[in-house]
Amino acid sequence: MELWYTEYQTKNLGLAARIKETLYSGKSDFQEVAVVESYEFGRMLVLDGVFQTSIFDEYIYHEMIAHVPLFVHPNPKNVLVIGGGDGGTIREVVKHQSVEVAEMVEIDGLVVEVSKKYLPEISSALNSNHPKLRLKIGDGIKHMKEVTDKYDVIIVDCSDPIGPGEGLFTHEFYTSVYKALKPDGLFVQQTESPFYHQELIRQLTADITSLFPITRLYLSSIPLYPGGLHCFTIGSKQYDPLKADIERIPANLDTRYYNREIQQSCFALPNFVKELVK
């Protein structure tokens, strides 16, 4: 009998993947956690029935959420990743020579442990206990409330705005992020699909714009995610992503998707997306 795993992206639409086997299935204090081996995407992390990452295309998401903001800031030394329990974002962050400390606050320790075992290509910085890495298992929202004027860049690598990730898409949270950043700091958050989450994008753009003088949305094609087109939003106190110096980006940077040209082109928006964020 064939086994299929379906993520329902809306009540009328689902993405189904044919599965070879289930490698892990369990439940943490926060969510159901599974790792499956699929025919199309290879090993996949699934949380509460939602596809989070896959060996096939994970590098696109992780490179884009990390390198784009880190090359907007001219000298990011102290970086925080909220979420990102699979380890892919922190793997990209520690590649930057300017980064001295890369903190990571993940609410679900089970996601970290499962990723280290079943997704070692993604969690390499976690498995090697990279010297720049400071890992904390805890609530990112609570952590933000307790910190002031500390970080150059904050990366919010969260799940969808349901369950554990719901509180990361609120004006209150963005206020805490603003407070935790240095005077020239900036943050980025994954902000879902411009096709299927338009009302969410309108709201969070308004919330971020009310706090940060510069707000920019950028895009990337990611096959695993709803509609194949994903967006990220930057809130910056000082540095405009459209004016980033791409000459700073090493030509030999260890990436498979991201490069100098992508740093600029990802901010070019289709008209319907411009309407969402204007």
- How does pLDDT run across 105-162, given as a tens digit for each residue? 999 999 999 999 999 999 999 999 999 999 999 999 999 999 999 999 999 999 777 7
CATH of the domain at 41: 2.30.140.10
How many domains, the chain?
2
The verdict on 47 and 63 lying in the same domain is: no
* C-alpha to C-alpha distance for 69 and 151, rounded to whole angstroms: 13
The verdict on 153 and 119 lying in the same domain is: yes
Local confidence band at 1 (pLDDT 50, 70, 90 cut-offs): low
- How does pLDDT run across 247-273, given as a tens digit for each residue? 999 999 999 999 999 999 999 999 999
The one catalytic residue among 157, 160, 184, 240: 157
The verdict on 153 and 168 lying in the same domain is: yes
pLDDT at 23 over 90: yes
Write the DSSP symbol of residue 168.
G
Measured in degrees and rounded to the nearest 5, phi and psi for residue 260 equal: -60, -45
Active site residue 184: no
Q: What is the phi-psi region of residue 104: left when phi exceeds 0, alpha when psi lies from -120 to 50, beta otherwise?
A: beta
The verdict on 50 and 69 lying in the same domain is: no
The verdict on 91 and 28 lying in the same domain is: no
| Domain encompassing residue 146 | 58-277
Question: What does the pLDDT average to over 211-223?
Answer: 98
What is the pLDDT at residue 265? 98
From residue 236, give the alpha-carbon distance in Å to each of 63, 138, 186. 19, 25, 4
Asked which of 11, 29, 54 is the last residue of a domain, the reply is 54
- Asked whether the CA dihedral 232, 237, 243, 245 is positive or negative, the reply is negative
* pTM, entire model: 0.97
- How does pLDDT run across 163-182, given as a tens digit for each residue? 667 889 999 999 999 999 99
The verdict on 166 and 41 lying in the same domain is: no
